[in-house]
């Protein structure tokens, strides 16, 4: 591809994504759906002119991983912790854990019955679809009131973390390991590592000098994430701990032996980090979903088997979400009921499945699940909005 064409395409994609964000706020349509559809249309156009470019699957997976790190960090940097809000923290954790667990088990039972998989492999195949995608949920939550938005940010972040932990544990189990041992041991290991990384970055953000400081910090974070992931730990917990530590530094002031780490420049530097993270997240998310749509063969989207599996998965996702929220938060989260999208985290985990498992589902199932959950979420939020307006 000519350099000029690549530059034009990259710039046009960013501008298109920015426009999609504005459309998303106006019409309650997730911008990632529009990006996916745009990628599919570009694929159709290039195929018609015999100019289709083959993209390596590793490129999509790498973008997905980078986007996941940035999205969870961006969400965590917006969260304020209050020691008096234990009930809220437990309810969001419980909603995420119950949602991931129920959906994974239900899909695992279905896939075991349909494909004849042993239960560890069947649960592994269902795990990617059991996770709420924070890459879609967090931007969508901007449309909600502050309480609902905060709930969605916490729940989707917990869902990503717990989903990855469960996926890695099931992956170990499929190779003959023990799920409980990996979850407990890996959880404590990554918690200790997360605290160490968070304290180190906390000091660096306030004390590094020069014009270039945040790209090296983010690069170090991605390096730690990749190393922890290679050991089948749950590195998203590291990212969440880091974001919470930076945005809640007041909690460290009461710890005497950590006071020396505080720097008065931290608050201003933290604002710069937030802006940079938001910009990078927007950029990576744009190209992940565009390329995911581009790598989807349009002919596979009319496969009736792909539609059947996708619809069954989506029905289970939303059918199980109601009891999960009801049991953990009560009847008050009506809008949050509809925010159960599948997206970047689902695709990232799906691409990490063993080939003998991922090839059982039709190739378009993943994209269809992302699109249908987005449509259901959009329609559900519009219905809730009209209902609220009608009752006033």
For 45-99, the pLDDT digits (tens) are 888 887 777 788 788 888 888 887 887 788 778 777 776 777 888 888 899 999 9
For 240-274, the pLDDT digits (tens) are 788 888 887 777 766 776 666 767 777 778 888 88
Residue with tokens 């990212």: 239
- Residue 100: pLDDT over 80: yes
Total H helices, total E strands in the chain: 15, 0
Q: Is the pTM of this model over 0.85?
A: no
| For residues 173-178, average pLDDT | 64
**pLDDT of amino acid 136:** 83
- Residue 187: pLDDT over 70: no
Q: Among 245, 191, 217, 271, which residue's Cα sits nearest to residue 76?
A: 245
**pLDDT of amino acid 75:** 74
Judge whether 372 lies within some domain: yes
Angle, helices 214-230/57-76, rounded to nearest 10 degrees:
120
**pLDDT of amino acid 114:** 92
| For residues 210-222, average pLDDT | 82
Task: CATH number of the domain at 102, please.
Answer: 1.20.1530.20
Q: Among 375, 320, 388, which residue's Cα sits nearest to residue 148?
A: 388
- Residue 234: pLDDT over 90: no
**pLDDT of amino acid 130:** 94
Judge whether 40 lies within some domain: no
**pLDDT of amino acid 83:** 67
137 vs 188: CA distance, rounded Å = 27
- Residue 180: pLDDT over 60: no
Q: Are 92 and 159 in contact (CB under 8 A)?
A: no
For 23-58, give the DSSP string: HHHHH---HHHHHHHHHHHHHHHHHHTT------HH
**pLDDT of amino acid 178:** 58
| For residues 22-38, average pLDDT | 81
Categorize the per-residue pLDDT at 132 as very low, low, confident or very high, splitting at 50, 70 and 90: very high
Task: List helix spans (H) across 208-332.
Answer: 214-230, 236-247, 266-294, 304-329
For 273-313, the pLDDT digits (tens) are 888 988 998 899 899 989 988 888 888 888 999 999 999 99
| For residues 162-188, average pLDDT | 69
Judge whether 8 lies within some domain: no
**pLDDT of amino acid 1:** 56
Task: Tell me which residue range forms the domain holding 243.
Answer: 57-391
Judge whether 384 lies within some domain: yes
Mean pLDDT (the chain) is 82
152 vs 160: CA distance, rounded Å = 12
- Residue 12: pLDDT over 80: yes
Tokens linked to 43: 């694929």
Domain count, the chain: 1
Angle, helices 304-329/365-391, rounded to nearest 10 degrees:
50
Judge whether 319 lies within some domain: yes
Of the ranges 132-141, 189-198, 374-383, the best mean pLDDT one:
374-383
Categorize the per-residue pLDDT at 158 as very low, low, confident or very high, splitting at 50, 70 and 90: confident
160 vs 54: CA distance, rounded Å = 30
Q: How many residues does the chain have?
A: 392
Distances (CA, A) of 255 to 250, 251, 260, 334: 10, 8, 10, 40
Judge whether 179 lies within some domain: yes
Judge whether 50 lies within some domain: no
Which long-range CB contacts under 8 A does 331-338 form with residues at least 24 apart?
333/148, 333/151, 334/384, 335/144, 335/148, 335/381, 335/384, 336/144, 336/148, 336/151, 336/152, 336/155, 337/380, 338/376, 338/377, 338/379, 338/380, 338/381, 338/384
**pLDDT of amino acid 332:** 63
Judge whether 33 lies within some domain: no
- Residue 392: pLDDT over 60: no
User: If 0-12 CB within 10 Å is exposed, 13-18 middle and 19+ buried, where does residue 276 land?
Assistant: middle
Contacts of 300 (CB under 8 A, 6+ apart): 306, 362, 363, 364
The helix (H) or strand (E) run that includes residue 176 is none
**pLDDT of amino acid 94:** 92
């Amino acid at each position: 591809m000519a350099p000029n064409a690549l530059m034009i395409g990259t710039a046009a994609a960013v501008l298109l994504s920015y426009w999609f964000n504005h459309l998303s706020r106006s019409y309650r349509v997730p911008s990632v759906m529009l990006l996916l559809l745009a990628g599919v249309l570009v694929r159709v156009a290039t195929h018609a002119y015999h100019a289709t470019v083959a993209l390596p699957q590793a490129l999509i997976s790498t973008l997905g991983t980078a986007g996941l790190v940035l999205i969870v960090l961006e969400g965590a940097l917006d969260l304020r912790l209050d020691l008096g809000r234990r009930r809220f923290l437990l309810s969001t954790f419980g909603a995420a854990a119950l949602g991931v667990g129920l959906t994974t088990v239900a899909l695992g039972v279905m896939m075991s019955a349909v494909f004849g998989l042993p239960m560890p492999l069947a649960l592994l195949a269902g795990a990617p679809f059991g996770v709420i995608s924070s890459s879609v949920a967090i931007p969508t939550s901007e449309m909600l009131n502050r309480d609902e938005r905060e709930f969605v940010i916490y729940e989707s972040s917990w869902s990503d973390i717990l989903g990855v932990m469960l996926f890695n544990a099931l992956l170990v189990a499929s190779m003959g390991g023990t799920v409980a041992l990996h979850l407990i041991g890996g959880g404590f290991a990554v918690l200790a590592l997360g605290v160490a990384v968070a304290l180190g970055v906390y000091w660096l953000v306030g004390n590094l000098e020069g014009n270039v400081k945040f790209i090296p910090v983010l690069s170090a974070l991605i390096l730690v994430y990749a190393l922890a992931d290679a050991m089948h730990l749950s590195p998203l917990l590291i990212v969440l701990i880091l974001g919470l530590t930076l945005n809640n530094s007041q909690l460290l002031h009461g710890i005497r032996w950590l006071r020396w780490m505080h720097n008065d420049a931290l608050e201003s530097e933290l604002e710069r980090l937030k802006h940079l993270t938001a910009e990078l997240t927007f950029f990576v998310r744009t190209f992940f979903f565009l390329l995911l749509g581009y790598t989807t063969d349009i002919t596979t989207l009319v496969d009736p088997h792909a539609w059947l599996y996708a619809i069954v998965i989506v029905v289970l996702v939303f059918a199980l979400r109601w009891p999960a929220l009801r049991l953990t938060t009560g009847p008050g989260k009506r809008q949050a009921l509809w925010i159960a999208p599948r997206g970047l985290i689902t695709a990232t985990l799906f691409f990490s499945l063993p080939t003998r498992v991922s090839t059982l589902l039709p190739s378009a199932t993943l994209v269809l699940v992302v699109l249908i959950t987005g449509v259901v979420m959009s329609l559900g939020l519009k219905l809730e909005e009209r209902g609220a307006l009608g009752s006033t």
